[in-house]
Amino acid sequence: METSYHTLPCGLRLVCAPSATDVAYCGIAINAGTRDERDNESGMAHFCEHLTFKGTRRRRSWHILNRMESVGGDLNAYTGKEETVYYTAFLKEHFGRAVDLLCDLVWGSVYPQGEMDKEAAVVADEIESYNDSPSELIFDDFENLVFTGHPLARNILGNADSLYSYRSAHLTEFADRLYTPRNATLFVLGKIDIRQVIRQTERALERVRQSLPIGHPRRILLEATDFPLPVSNEEQGRVRPSTSLPQEITLHKDTHQAHVMIGTQAYSACDPRHLSLYLLNNMLGGPGMNSRLNLSLRERRGLVYTVESNMTAYTDTGIWCVYFGCDPKDVAHCRRLVFNELRKLSSAPLGKTTLEAAKRQIKGQIGISCDNFENAALALGKTYLHYNRGRNIQRLYERIDALTAEDLYEVAKELFQPEKLTTLIYR
């Protein structure tokens, strides 16, 4: 079986990929995240995700939670800067149950007022847990620095005062505006034929339509026809962030360790340079214990417990950064070591043996990651949502093999210069 695609008359795109096990994954990915909030909607994308589980026109919260759990399945969701995803894992014979529940959640939720204050308290606790974890909080603060003044700078969780002020009508308006079929993808990873996916998704959507009052915005959109293409960034109202100026900021957090982030804006997932940075980032501070930063800062000198580099690619921009935590007295030493590794990569092209070893390692990591079926399903949904294509691992391997030392060198020269990097320090 190959990956199959289909678009329903209402504009909902379906993607179905085969799997080797009887466990299946199904989800709905919506092209709506934190960057799509208006100025008076801080944290609403994430709050809407939480409240979606609190009741629909057909189900109370208990029925939602029990629907997949009662057959041994799992129901979950997450909110990002550019998407919100609802998904479930189950044995393949329960696909009808799964798709019916997901469609009801996304298009039939009522966001009950009686649940909102309770859930606001839950998210407020989540916010405080981040505030108590500087190694996590610094990532949000750093992104806020790099994208200052742009919606991508917003914290996904928002702030507690805003959450307590929201009413059911606010979340309903948010969902009516952004949770549209044309703005979403339904993805399936499992031994399920695309014809079954089409048939049972149409049935599920019809049940949702029948539950909504005539004239309801979501009912109208579910009945609409002739939406051949997904919503574009321009239609979504998304504006690409301008390039920010490098800066260095130190915040006093009264923490035992110092926490340091160094990085800059980078490339979108559509930029051809993105793959070169992907390979450079893996060499520099990826998950392998043989990464250059781990060897330099931890293995050889014992200065840190954690050091890593990360990159995130959005649809129109990206961010790349290095993070480490160390004793406050070692900050300057660790920074010099980081810049030394960056200088090595940006001062001369890699040798052939080094480049081939780096390619071999990252291809192995990609192959092993594909064995995590949940992550593979989520990647399938996100890729098709934003880029209208499926995942092709073999094609990715070929693109990696085609990278040259000069490709990586040009990217390193552009991004890794100390004078171009923003630094955030917690002391």
Sign (positive/negative) of CA torsion 402, 404, 410, 412? Answer: positive
Confidence of residue 225 (pLDDT cuts 50, 70, 90): confident
Is the pLDDT confidence value at 190 over 90? yes
**What does pTM read for this prediction?**
0.96
Residue 350: left if φ>0, alpha if ψ -120 to 50, beta else—which one?
beta
CATH class of 248-426: alpha beta
- In DSSP notation, 168-187 reads HHHHHHHHHHH--GGGEEEE
Q: Under CATH, to which class is 4-235 assigned?
A: alpha beta
Q: Are 84 and 49 in contact (CB under 8 A)?
A: yes
pLDDT tens digits along 108-123: 999 999 999 999 999 9
56, β-bridge pairs = 109
Which pLDDT tens digit goes with each residue over 404-418? Answer: 999 999 999 999 999
pLDDT the model gives residue 375? 96
pLDDT greater than 80 at residue 1:
no
pLDDT band at 226 (very low <50, low <70, confident <90, very high): confident
- Phi-psi map region of 164: left, alpha, beta (phi>0 left; psi -120 to 50 alpha): alpha
Residue 173 tokens, joined: 């308006």
Q: Does the structure show a pLDDT above 80 at 228? A: no
SS3 395: helix
pLDDT-derived band of residue 7, with 50, 70 and 90 as boundaries?
very high
Q: Output the pLDDT for position 191.
A: 97
pLDDT of the residue at 244: 85
For residue 301, how far is the Cα from the chain centroid? Answer: 34
Q: pLDDT band at 262, cuts 50/70/90?
A: very high
**How far apart are alpha carbons 248 and 268 in whole angstroms?**
24
pLDDT over 80 (residue 227): no
- What is the C-alpha separation between 55 and 28, in angstroms, rounded? 17
Q: Which residue has the tokens 């919503």?
A: 231
* pLDDT at residue 254, rounded to an integer: 85
Mean pLDDT of 74-96: 98
The whole-chain average pLDDT of the chain stands at 96
Two tokens, residue 384: 């098709």
CA dist 392 and 54 (Å) reads 37
User: 322-362: per-residue pLDDT in tens?
Assistant: 999 999 999 999 999 999 999 999 999 999 999 999 999 99
**Contact residues for 255 (Cβ-Cβ < 8 A; gap 6+):** 134, 426, 427
What stretch(es) of the chain map to CATH 3.30.830.10? Answer: 4-235, 248-426
Q: At what angle do helices 331-347 and 274-285 cross, to 10 degrees?
A: 130
The percent of residues in the chain predicted with pLDDT above 70, rounded, is 100
Helix spans in 109-193 (H)? 113-131, 134-146, 160-165, 168-178
pLDDT band, very low/low/confident/very high, at 133 (cuts 50, 70, 90): very high
Q: Pick from 417, 385, 427: which is nearest to 187 by CA?
A: 385
Amino acid, res. 320: W
Element (H, E) at 14: strand 13-17
C-alpha closest to that of 277 among 287, 265, 288? 265
